[in-house]
Structure 1
Amino acid sequence: MNRMTELKHGLEEAWHSVAEGWRQLRDRATGALTHFSPGKSPSVRDTGTSEGGQFPAATWALLAGDVLEDDDKVVVRLEAPGLEKEDFDLEVRSDVLIVRGEKRYDRETTQGRYRVRQCAYGSFHRAIPLPVPVEADKAAASYRNGVLRIELPKSEHARARRIEIRSA
């Protein structure tokens, strides 16, 4: 029976390890998981099959991002490969940055067929909570190498101030 107890203990440890890994993945990816709504983009067909059936397109994808705050500004970096700067629409509402866009489908080849399709296409939007009030009218954005970078100056009352102590 001792061997059976060891086996049970080993399986419990393995299960807890896998469960913890999934929990961490879910917690880290929750904010980055973005829904893509196929709409204006033409549907994608698998022309490599004799049936010519519809190939299911992914409708969820990760748009990973970072939010950095320093004394004067908030910087949001969003990884969004395969788009052009014209594909984005940015807006600040209250203390939330809203990023909208559309990723259009471009077929790589006219021959063959897809065996794996994990890229999502269509319109999307992400709401990114900002840690402090910002001056949206002074924001600046750039898009380079698949990374959208938005700099949002902090509102005057949200900026850090150094207080000097005077002698009495």
Structure 2
Amino acid sequence: MFIHKIDEELSLKVVEMRDAERIFELTDGSREHLKAWLPWLDFTTELKDTQDFIQSGSRNFIEGKSLNTAILFKGEIVGVGGFNQINPANKTAYIGYWIGKDYQGHGIMTRTAKALTDYAFSELKLNKVEIRVAVGNTKSRSIPERLGFVQEGTIRQAEWLYDHYVDHVVYGMLAEEWNKK
């Protein structure tokens, strides 16, 4: 099992089926908070949907295509973060993350994104990490900005969000840039 200790409060572990109830409970309890920026909430309406997500993520992890981790804050699952996609041919990974509404303001997501970026470069030997964020999602945008990611551009109408399209800002970090920090 993959467990990565970030610091005394925070660690990441591969999402397992036994985490499904907690992740669904966290999703359901933060639904209105998360719905502003995440399009998959209408497709996550029961425990089975979370179990399907975990099962699919497990297959993709085994194949080296993604890595979904539960974010543990003081031993409790408070969100999910990881590589939504790993492209071994191009040595690139795309970080995605979300956190329950009651756990914001502790620096959890910045530390998580930093740890994932470290892991991508040091363990997976990737060349580039990207984070794509809806233009208007200022809280989420502050994470790659805080970590020194380069704003590379905007993808217009990148995602359908319930009843409208949103543009995405693309942030990138190269291994050589990260290693200089």
TM-score, normalised to structure 1's length?
Answer: 0.23
- The structure showing larger relative contact order (alpha-carbon pairs under 8 Å, at least 6 residues apart) is 1
Larger proportion of helix: 2
Which of these two proteins has the greater Rg computed from alpha carbons?
1
TM-score, normalised to structure 2's length?
Answer: 0.21
